[in-house]
Amino acid sequence: MSDRRSFPKPQSGMVVPRFGGIATFMRLPAFTDPADLDIGLVGVPWDGGTTNRPGARHGPRQMRDMSTLMRRVHHVSGIEPYTLARIGDLGDTSVNPASVDDSLTRIETFYAKLHKAGVVPLSAGGDHLVTLPILRAIARRRPLGMVHFDAHSDTWDTYFGGYKYTHGTPFRRAIEEGLLDPKRIVQIGIRGSLYGNADMAWAYDQGIRVITIEEYFDLGVDKVIEEARRVVGDGATYVSFDVDGLDPVFAPGTGTPEIGGYSTHEAQRMIRGLRGLDLVGADVVEVSPPFDPSGNTALVGVTMMWELMCLLAECVAKRRARPAAKRQRFARRNKRNV
Amino acid sequence: MSDRRSFPKPQSGMVVPRFGGIATFMRLPAFTDPADLDIGLVGVPWDGGTTNRPGARHGPRQMRDMSTLMRRVHHVSGIEPYTLARIGDLGDTSVNPASVDDSLTRIETFYAKLHKAGVVPLSAGGDHLVTLPILRAIARRRPLGMVHFDAHSDTWDTYFGGYKYTHGTPFRRAIEEGLLDPKRIVQIGIRGSLYGNADMAWAYDQGIRVITIEEYFDLGVDKVIEEARRVVGDGATYVSFDVDGLDPVFAPGTGTPEIGGYSTHEAQRMIRGLRGLDLVGADVVEVSPPFDPSGNTALVGVTMMWELMCLLAECVAKRRARPAAKRQRFARRNKRNV
Amino acid sequence: MSDRRSFPKPQSGMVVPRFGGIATFMRLPAFTDPADLDIGLVGVPWDGGTTNRPGARHGPRQMRDMSTLMRRVHHVSGIEPYTLARIGDLGDTSVNPASVDDSLTRIETFYAKLHKAGVVPLSAGGDHLVTLPILRAIARRRPLGMVHFDAHSDTWDTYFGGYKYTHGTPFRRAIEEGLLDPKRIVQIGIRGSLYGNADMAWAYDQGIRVITIEEYFDLGVDKVIEEARRVVGDGATYVSFDVDGLDPVFAPGTGTPEIGGYSTHEAQRMIRGLRGLDLVGADVVEVSPPFDPSGNTALVGVTMMWELMCLLAECVAKRRARPAAKRQRFARRNKRNV
Amino acid sequence: MSDRRSFPKPQSGMVVPRFGGIATFMRLPAFTDPADLDIGLVGVPWDGGTTNRPGARHGPRQMRDMSTLMRRVHHVSGIEPYTLARIGDLGDTSVNPASVDDSLTRIETFYAKLHKAGVVPLSAGGDHLVTLPILRAIARRRPLGMVHFDAHSDTWDTYFGGYKYTHGTPFRRAIEEGLLDPKRIVQIGIRGSLYGNADMAWAYDQGIRVITIEEYFDLGVDKVIEEARRVVGDGATYVSFDVDGLDPVFAPGTGTPEIGGYSTHEAQRMIRGLRGLDLVGADVVEVSPPFDPSGNTALVGVTMMWELMCLLAECVAKRRARPAAKRQRFARRNKRNV
Amino acid sequence: MSDRRSFPKPQSGMVVPRFGGIATFMRLPAFTDPADLDIGLVGVPWDGGTTNRPGARHGPRQMRDMSTLMRRVHHVSGIEPYTLARIGDLGDTSVNPASVDDSLTRIETFYAKLHKAGVVPLSAGGDHLVTLPILRAIARRRPLGMVHFDAHSDTWDTYFGGYKYTHGTPFRRAIEEGLLDPKRIVQIGIRGSLYGNADMAWAYDQGIRVITIEEYFDLGVDKVIEEARRVVGDGATYVSFDVDGLDPVFAPGTGTPEIGGYSTHEAQRMIRGLRGLDLVGADVVEVSPPFDPSGNTALVGVTMMWELMCLLAECVAKRRARPAAKRQRFARRNKRNV
Amino acid sequence: MSDRRSFPKPQSGMVVPRFGGIATFMRLPAFTDPADLDIGLVGVPWDGGTTNRPGARHGPRQMRDMSTLMRRVHHVSGIEPYTLARIGDLGDTSVNPASVDDSLTRIETFYAKLHKAGVVPLSAGGDHLVTLPILRAIARRRPLGMVHFDAHSDTWDTYFGGYKYTHGTPFRRAIEEGLLDPKRIVQIGIRGSLYGNADMAWAYDQGIRVITIEEYFDLGVDKVIEEARRVVGDGATYVSFDVDGLDPVFAPGTGTPEIGGYSTHEAQRMIRGLRGLDLVGADVVEVSPPFDPSGNTALVGVTMMWELMCLLAECVAKRRARPAAKRQRFARRNKRNV
């Protein structure tokens, strides 16, 4: 299915209607060799870190299905991602439903291969723990900044008497491992009752900029964008979009719904507001099909992927335009991988 | 069931509870002769123009079911439509699921009969292509203005290699046929990724006033109403309400959902803001029950019908109050019925 | 909508597709005067006797919707009911959701009017308590026999500390009031855990022939039919079909499911096996749409109505062929009503 | 399960995951003796006053299920209710599905026992009629003020020809019986078409402060809170939260949805805005699981209970801190009960 | 993705769990060149012939999704199809939702290409009209026999006033066009009420062996298999499996359910009973996902495809074992491909 | 809530309707001390061994909810379990969603405590791996026989490259650990495509009596019961009921559905056919609520628990009647636990 020379294009809905054909992300060709691509769309069908309602393992497939509704040009920015970057579907990572540790290794291995090939990953979870092995693969060299859309800070320490790897802990681990720079993290939409008053203390102590949903509504979207851009600055930045940051009416198919979030329109505006940042990867997580068989949550998720893909494609095109820097990047990477 | 002399009244929920009885629109009596009515509620159970998810053919029946929740007096305007106009359920048009062309003819024939009888049509779709034969029946004499609520402009040219009649093309055809005056069309809520950058060019070239969802949120409801009134002006105007203009959380049961739309409350305010315009017909389309068995989308659809019906009833009453015109109209009708 | 002279015919699916039009029972015309009909299809939208999961009040409307799938000729018996009897939709009885007693009165009054007009009622519930006021209306003169399909005997005495009217008590009341002859009652499919060992004692003491589901499977359908015919004999007989007699996979939309029942095919064969009995009315009850929004349970319910209607139409035709008897019947009835 | 001496604590989600264990409200211990508690969480599984879609009788159980997602500390106010008051699950009241009158008596009796024991009730309905017997139990001594979230005023007089007790009448009855002071009632979110123009007249004549949804959106949340506080003032106040006040997208599982309401976030802000009022009880009603099997509506309902519980716990703690007043209150109550 | 030399194998569920990966039929590789395969799995996402409930256009995708539950060895026959034949997923045919005629042409063209390449087609519909263009592509040379599982004979003449192409007419057309030999057709499971007494006359007149569901249950599975084998004999035979032949509890997601059919176990036994016949193609049609979002109907459909694939693979292997014929076939193909 | 002296009785549906109250198994009181009981009803809310669709962790709660439909007397056997044994709800075991190993330990610990107290466990899963730690707790002393209802043998060795603990491996492990005597195991309903031809070899080699679904239908229920009794004989026997042994129409809410199974009625007869065996425990597993929000699968599951409970209660009563044996059993057990 691959085409190394030209930029892959999605199958047109005017030729094969949107309900037809094998469902790949955005109706793009499937690839197995990352070298064919600039941006790799990847599924991580795993929910072994889920502490309450499971099902996000089924997310990538339903998101592929709903992604056939996406088209080619962004209606606001005018970005045409498929003319800016080689983008394709790299399939799903290997996972092990019977082991958290083995799964974390398998996922990291998959992304390490992508990273080595210079591919920018845009991922569909899976639960939020999958972001940890992705970061392990792409942020070993230097800590990244992060724009984090979520109802939960996901910086808890342990669960169930000392267990360190759940979908409530990835960013604690990532900061501890030096994968994220806490001072360049902004979390948007945090809310919901707490286990204890100290729950958020660690996050605040690390210098994370937490924008609770209450502050979000008080500031308004434009100020929130401004603040997010200020926090992450010019450095390399990752975007992690947990659909439970949205109000559950927009994303009922998720494991840990918290009522009272932002709308999809607001989320779209926030993502668009990140245009021009130095983005090195992104994910959309916690779409859980068994809790929304209608597919509407998956449609929301893939539309966010579409919004993020437009930004990532611009970043790829911009980097390509800087050949020297690119060469340096390759040099650095090769050194790193020796 | 008909009563020629008095104004038909809905069955009271205090006598027969809302879940009881044969479901007609608004619990009104069923009629077969348009001459009995000023406003005809009509279903068009057809989705042969649907390019993706079908099911709008089942819309009218579910909308009749949910319409039994409607009552008699508008709680904001105080309008009592059943005292202003003779309103009833004229059943569904004939359609042919096996042929687009034959269906367009059958639908137009049905509405031509209504129009000849001086009946103002308020229709429940069906997919958006059904608006075309309605306009063919009622706008032959002069092009109408239109307030168009939708996520999509529906002014594409052809699909699938030259096919001109789908639910993405009705307004291109209507403008080409002189049924709509593009300079008196306002489209509210347009959004979603595009097939190509030229997708909207034709619409803009015709002079259609397109209010994208982004502009909508920037302007606010009141300014949008003002702009809509400015565009359509004093001339005869049609209102077409595609439920996918709403955010999909309010209308998940539809064929082509686009995330990030307006709310039902906002839509209600916009419709109310059209009070006093010279309205000659309206429709609510794209309610697709298989994608929302709960009936909530249909409830939204019939509530919009209720809002529109209040405006149409006022228009009817106002026209009746202009005796000369009215006499002429009756004269025409009487001649026709001899 | 009525036509007094000719036999009403359903709207053809070849002209208006099955999903179109105002939904009446079997797509028949709606009538308000029972005198126009031999067999009246009636909805009783009431579940005030329900002790557990409510919703059967919504049954008639969903059954009307699904009944549009029925056609005109029985594929096994060849019966064409619409050529044998004048059949139409008489709408729903009045009910009062806030009062059991008032509802029983309203329902009885409705059926008394039918009975006086010589109409054979075929009803769609509602919960099983609605059979009691129907019997009060049509069995005052002499007790009827009954073929009763159900998982429950519905011969309990009282609930909740002395309350005598619930959907678990109708046949105890009907026997006490002399409306049913217990020795001519056969109950098919009784099963499920019991409140106490004496639960079924009263039914057995009255002489009711109880065929538990275990005996049902041991005997086989043909022997069960034989036994049912033996029990009710030649006398006037009513058929009451509670959809929970079926296995819940065939009728999940019901208030008191009991696993392990018969299939729809078996039920159809049993109803067909009643051909030639002297049937004076029938009902299908306990279809509860909120517990099966798909409408499949309602489809099962209306297909059973269709099967019963074919038998009732034959009975009507047979009685018409016996003018003397008919005259006597009318004479008796008139006397009774003086 | 009870513990008289210490303050009951919810089972921790870190020990037994949230999907595990017998579902009680908020994962609190179950109690049978009100004397063990300051605040009693009570279910009223009854919908006998429902005039349209039933099912709220199943509300308390689904709300208990979803309540296991709640935690211990309020993330905005920092209130830790379980340290301020003894709170537990007192189970469900007895009800009689076959009788409105008997049910009203059973419910009142249950709450009278609580009230005598000095317990502040926080209830989960059930339809809105259940608020009447609660008020009869706790407001005999003096009329209460009320903050009433709802799409409907629920001050109709009678239904179905004179029936005085339905979920559309509780507050008319409560005012007539002197249980509520109409001048201290504020209703927020009223909307929807009316039976007649006089529908709201009685409410206005009594002096109820009705904030329609239109006024609500014009004022904004902060002004609405201000107005609500002004209306109820310093006196003893009850809060009744009908989930149909919310837009139906947030609470589809309800009996009488009216499109165009407020959001859950807005509702949360309004409840938080009541902090410091003299609250003596609260309820959340009209959650109807059959119309939302996903449980999302129940999640919304229990989150509102959580918000209310935090306020009630502060009130309890404040009263405890005023020993003299408390003694007087007990003295008065004892006298009353003699 | 293709591998010309070896026999394609499905991705193992032990390596990538069944919920992971891009969903192809049976987790087989995707192919675009029919020459790579002996048996081609093809989707026909089209329901333009549907006269009532649409949605079968979404069938192939949901069937691909559920097909990931299939494994490699048949548990009864021991057949290992992937060792007997080169089998792969050839994607979906092109279709045109806006035109019946154009779609029939597109589908035929697709299959003609397969047929020319010597590929045996195993198809997933789509509605039953899709079988007609398949037969046009593969049966031009000589009429085929057919084992036809269905509730409906699908031999009606026209619909809606002369329209000849709907899902109720394919086999009338196929017989008229000489694609099927009516004396070698057996239809199993026919039932349901009829439009008229003459409905089945044409079928009987042609000599089709119709086994109604009543005869089916009287004969029992073994006799039905025997009869089916007798009817089709040794000649080339097609198998068409409409899921509405099953009882709707097994396949609720279909357009025209008829209660009272056979079970999946019985259908499996019947298919297995066709082992050894000279099968040249097969399809499974009328899976309509919008009417069963759970995917259970699709699971039933793909399991039937699995059963059929095992038989087809044996046929392929048997033909390969006849070297002369095989050489000729290859010769023809090579010439064709030059 | 406990009562040590008398036999616990379920709350009556005549006093508190079935939809009311805190949901415990069979509406029995909740207990924390096993010493209060003869039979302990226990939930194991865990699905960490699930290789495909998760969700069985939510099984116990939904099964408690649906169990409120059960009553007190078995309608066929007449057994009144609550008069024969002290039975109560012991809540759920502790589990750890983030660790298979830790969960196995926690579950075994819970059951070891029960076993030490002489309590017979009747469990609600959870996925099928939960049976392993239960057996570890109760079968250490001597291998048990087992009647195993299932579509799958669950005797695979490893998954995902060597992982030994999944819901496809429990009985391999149990046999290896000497907890089950393979020659006293009968598996009923085995079916479905296989990974390889050797899949079942190990099971056959061990001497397990495998009754495939094909043999099941050939033998008939009565012969299957006979064979099952012959295999397990007089020794201590466990019953494990995986709901996927049933046809998926009876139990759609499960993780690994295989079409073509037995019916609930047949399963009930098979369980009843085990009366008189020396049963020492039982479980019902793989009820997965996210895949059946209707609760019908859970209703099936709890009805099987009810059937099993009646048998277990008789066993308990019989053992009580043999005081000497009982003393010996206690003696043995005490020695074992030292």
- Give the model's pLDDT for residue F283: 98
Whether F and D touch, i.e. at least 3 CB pairs below 8 A, reads as: yes
User: What fold does the segment set B25-323 form as a domain?
Assistant: Arginase; Chain A (3.40.800)
Is E25-44+54-93+116-322 assigned to CATH 3.40.920.10?
no
- Cis amide leading into D255 (omega within 30): no
C25-325, what's its fold?
Arginase; Chain A (3.40.800)
Query: B308, B306, B318: which is closest to B73 by C-alpha?
Result: B306
DSSP letter for each residue of C138-176: H-SSSPEEEEEE-SS------BTTTB--STTSHHHHHHH
So what's the pLDDT on residue D206?
Answer: 97
Among the listed ranges A270-284, D152-166, E203-217, which one has the minimum average pLDDT value?
D152-166
**Angstroms from F304 CA to nearest CA on chain C:** 10
Q: Quote the tokens at residue B153.
A: 């402009």
- CA–CA distance, F131 with F124 (Å, rounded to integer): 10
Return per-residue pLDDT of chain D as tens, 338 residues: 344 457 999 998 877 899 999 999 999 999 999 999 999 999 999 999 999 999 999 999 999 999 999 999 999 999 999 999 999 999 999 999 999 999 999 999 999 999 999 999 999 999 999 999 999 999 989 999 999 999 999 999 999 888 999 999 999 999 999 999 999 999 999 999 988 878 899 999 999 999 999 999 999 999 999 999 999 999 999 999 999 999 999 999 999 999 999 999 999 999 999 999 999 999 999 999 999 999 999 999 999 999 999 999 999 999 998 765 555 655 555 454 43
**What DSSP designation does C21 have?**
S
Output DSSP code: residue E22: -
Q: How many CB atoms lie within 10 A of CB C317?
A: 15
Interface partners of chain A (CB pairs < 8 Å, 3 or more) are B, D, E, F
Domain boundary assignment for chain E: 25-44+54-93+116-322
How much is the pTM? 0.95
Label the pairing between strands E237-242 and E144-149: parallel
Q: What's the pLDDT score for residue E16?
A: 85
The arithmetic mean of pLDDT across residues E160-164, rounded, is 91
CATH T-level assignment (fold) for domain F25-329: Arginase; Chain A (3.40.800)
CATH class assigned to D25-333: alpha beta
Whole-number CA gyration radius for chain C: 18
CA of A104 to nearest chain E CA: how many angstroms apart? 15
Closest residue in chain A to residue E24, using alpha carbons only: A22
How many pairs of residues across B and D have Cβ atoms under 8 Å apart?
78
Answer yes or no: is pLDDT of F198 > 50: yes
Which segments of chain E does DSSP mark as H helices, in order? 59-67, 81-84, 100-116, 131-138, 170-176, 201-206, 213-219, 221-232, 264-272, 296-320, 323-337
Residue C40 to residue D7: CA distance in whole angstroms: 64
CA–CA dist A210, A190 (Å, integer): 7
The pLDDT score that the predictor gives to residue A333 is 52
User: What is the tens place of the pLDDT at every residue in B155-206?
Assistant: 999 998 889 999 999 999 999 999 999 999 999 999 999 888 788 999 999 9
pLDDT at E327 over 80: no
Say whether pLDDT at B228 is over 60.
yes
Summarize pLDDT for B101-120 with one digit per residue, the tens.
999 999 999 999 999 999 99
CA E127 to chain centre: 11
- Run of H or E residues at C231: helix C221-232
Rounded distance between C-alpha atoms, residue C332 and residue C324, angstroms:
12
Contacts of F264 (CB under 8 A, 6+ apart): C247, C259, C260, F246, F250, F300, F303
Closest by alpha carbon to E60, among E126, E111, E146?
Answer: E126
Q: Do E264 and E248 form a contact (C-beta atoms < 8 A)?
A: no
Decide if F97 and A50 are in contact by the 8 Å CB cutoff: yes
Question: How far is the alpha carbon of A95 from chain F, nearest alpha carbon, in Å?
Answer: 9
Residues E96-109 have pLDDT tens digits of 999 999 999 999 99
Mean pLDDT by 10 residues, chain C (338 residues): 68 88 97 96 96 96 96 95 98 95 97 98 98 97 97 94 93 98 98 87 96 98 98 98 98 97 98 98 98 96 98 97 61 48
Alpha helices in E117-189, H assignment, sequence order: 131-138, 170-176
Residues of D in contact with B303 (CB under 8 A): 259-260
Write the DSSP assignment of A49-61 as a string of letters: T-SS---GGGHHH
The SS3 call for residue E193 is coil
**Which residues of F define the annotated binding site for Mn(2+)?**
128, 150, 152, 154, 242, 244
**Chain F residues bordering chain C (beta-carbon distance below 8 Å):** 12-15, 17-19, 69-76, 78, 80, 249-250, 263-265, 268, 294, 296, 299-300, 303, 306
Chain C residues within 8 angstroms (CB to CB) of chain F: 51-53, 159-161, 190-197, 199, 212-214, 217, 247-249, 252, 256-257, 259-261, 291-292
How much is the pLDDT for E338?
35
Q: What is the pLDDT of residue C4?
A: 45
Has residue A206 got a pLDDT over 80? yes
Give CA–CA dist F118/B150, Å, rounded.
68
Cross-chain Cβ contact F61/D24 below 8 Å: no
Confidence band of F331 (pLDDT split at 50, 70, 90): low
CATH code at A31-325: 3.40.800.10
* Residue A266: predicted pLDDT: 98
Alpha-carbon distance E210 to E224, whole Å? 11
pLDDT at B255 over 60: yes
The 8-class DSSP code of residue D10 comes to P
The pLDDT value given to residue E12: 85
More confident residue, D336 or A167: A167
Structure tokens at C205: 């003491």
Phi-psi domain of D166 (left: phi exceeds 0; alpha: psi -120 through 50; beta: other): beta
Query: Which residues of B touch chain C, with CB atoms under 8 Å apart?
Result: 1, 15-17, 19-24, 30, 43, 45, 57-58, 60-61, 64-65, 89, 91-92, 94-95, 97, 293-294
Instruction: State chain E's mean pLDDT as an integer.
Output: 93
